[in-house]
Structure 1
Amino acid sequence: MTRVKVHLFYTPQIDLDSKRYVLNEEESRHATRVLRLSAGDEIHLIDGKGNLIRSRIALVHNKHTEVELLQVTPAYGKRNHRLHIAIAPTKNIDRLEWFLEKATEIGIDEITPILCDHSERKEVKLERLDKVITAAMKQSMTAYHPLLNETVKIKDFLAQHEGSELFIAHCAEGSKSTLSKLLVPGQAATILIGPEGDFSAAEIDLALKSGAQAIHLGPTRLRTETAALYACMEVNLLNRG
């Protein structure tokens, strides 16, 4: 697949049936004041749903730049699998933001912050985290915006889970395998990643009873954000073909 090398703008509200679109104030300011684009310059828009839209600037304004829609490429960069990672928020929020950025660049579809018995952080600012995801999506030239869900208790997450193979990565004793042995390419996967203190024994037991398969992520003990990114990378490599 050939990647375009142009300026990219996020337009989640775009109407693909329209011939023109007005960039919001933030994107207009970026186009005019940061990139100093002019009328006639070509740019690309992404809606976060897989559509890449080749466009041309028709009217320059630092608050409402207007563009002409030229061509729509659907399912741009679509992967052959779906990945959902449920992760306990890290005490240092910068580490969670780092994971979201890198996972978005590598390839992920959905993220759910989960509250566990050993969680050190109980609250996250979803709006801030979503901006990290958006910036990473634009930087990596992907047309899909990963879904960031509301924070939920792990027991409620397990009760609601359906539609994908479920895995839990933990450090406790017991029978465990690897994603390379369990994951079928093209298969939708959900992976549980616990807090620094790991999942409690009760949480591991509940996950296994809920149909999760226990996995390990190598011979060393990893930080939460490292474990999550390791899992993200492994799933993408297994599906690379």
Structure 2
Amino acid sequence: MHLFYQPDIRSNESTHILTEDDSRHAVKTLRLRVGDSVLVTDGQGNRYSAVIHTTDPRRCSFRLTDVQTTPPRPFSIRICVAPTKNLDRIEWFIEKAVELGIERISFFFGQHSERRVLKMERLEKIAVSAMKQSLQSYLPKLDDALSFSELLKTITEEERFIAHLPNDEPPVNLAKRATATGQYAVLIGPEGDFSDKEIQQAVAAGFQMVTLGPNRLRTETAALTACQLLNFINA
């Protein structure tokens, strides 16, 4: 069954219009016809059963037939990551993290960051595509990039981790530090790693230092590994 994204859908209205991109995809690529069944999500947990009403490649319409609401997961994952110099890598992370399951992705510019610009519109399209591809009903929140100190002010999650090896104590893997059904925030540094000042700020804000395994990982690999580990302990 094909899944489409309609963020402003209203269940009390009988007919709705797909976006122009989705309309073209439905009519030209998928060759859907009047009466064909589809699924539509608003990205907030609601998944609607619907049938195609008209097949205009610019304004393909559909009628709702049923709705199911998926409750939020009993845990939440927020990965806070410094954008990579090569933007393709961060795009890859977003796609795979959404497929695995994640509630929020926050970006920050650290002292050692090489990239200082992000095209959020493109990243949001990648997240939407991954949500539809993996047949999920929740669209993760993507936050505009902040400075590291400003990012720390936004953290409300109770379980806080920074992927950095401590110098004065044995490293503990994230999978052993985190507890099931938690609300997690994980900091992943840029290619040049966190500065000493940033590490001090994170520790002062309640972040625990953790390792993600014995190997040195690229930024995007570390971010995805953290996401997978937290999903795994809640499986």
| Deviation digits for residues 115-147 of structure 1 (CA, Å, limit 9, x no counterpart) | 111101111100011111111111111111111
Once the two structures are superposed, residues 14-54 of structure 1 have per-residue CA deviations (whole angstroms, 9 ceiling, x without a partner) of 11222221112111111111111100100000111011111
Aligned to 2:44: 49
Asked whether 1:156 is paired with 2:154, we answer no
One-letter code of the match for 2:43? G
- Residue of structure 2 equivalent to 1:70: 65
> Which of residues 179, 194, 203 in structure 2 aligns to 1:199?
194
Q: 2:110 matched to 1:116? A: yes
In structure 1, distance between residues paired with 2:149 and 2:187: 12
Provide closer, same or farther for how the CA distance between residues 128 and 205 of structure 1 changes in structure 2, counting only shifts above 3 A.
same
Residue 85 of structure 1 is aligned with which of 76, 79, 89?
79
Shift of 1:161: 1.7
TM-aligned CA distance change 1:131 to 1:174, over 3 Å = farther
Structure-2 residue corresponding to 1:3: none
Instruction: Give the drift of 1:172.
Output: 5.3
SS in 2 for 1:220: coil
Aligned partner of 1:134 in structure 2 is: 128
Task: Give the superposition deviation at 1:231.
Answer: 0.3
Give runs of ≥4 in structure 1 deviating > 3 Å: none
> Does the alignment pair 1:214 with 2:216?
no
CA distance in 2, matches of 1:235, 1:89: 21
Q: Which residue in the other structure is 1:187 paired with? A: 182
Given residue 87 of structure 2, which amino acid in structure 1 is its aligned partner? I
Deviation of 1:164 after TM superposition, in Å, equals 2.9
- Indicate the residue corresponding to 1:229 in structure 2: 224
Give the TM-score normalised by the residue count of structure 2: 0.96
Cα pair distance change 1:164/1:17, threshold 3 Å = farther
What is the identity, as a one-letter code, of the residue corresponding to 1:21? H
Measure the CA separation in 1 of the matches of 2:41 and 2:158.
27
* Cα distance in 2 for residues equivalent to 1:196 and 1:173: 19
* Structure 1 equivalent of residue 92 of structure 2: 98
Q: Secondary structure at the match of 2:38?
A: strand
Q: Share of identical aligned residues, percent?
A: 42
Amino acid corresponding to residue 73 of structure 1 in structure 2: Q
Q: How many residues align?
A: 234
TM-score after normalising by structure 1:
0.94
- Return the alpha-carbon distance in structure 2 between the equivalents of residues 98 and 160 of structure 1: 25
Give secondary structure in 1 for the equivalent of 2:144: coil
Distance 2:155 2:135 in 1: 30
Retained in 1: the 8 A contact 2:166–2:209?
A: no
- 1:44–1:52 CA contact under 8 A, matched in 2: yes
- Over the aligned positions, Cα root-mean-square deviation in angstroms equals 1.2
Identify the match of residue 12 of structure 2 among 9, 12, 17: 17
Structure 2 stretches of 5 or more lacking a match?
none
Contact 1:89 1:114 in 2 (8 A): yes
**Distance in 1 separating the partners of 2:107 and 2:2:** 31
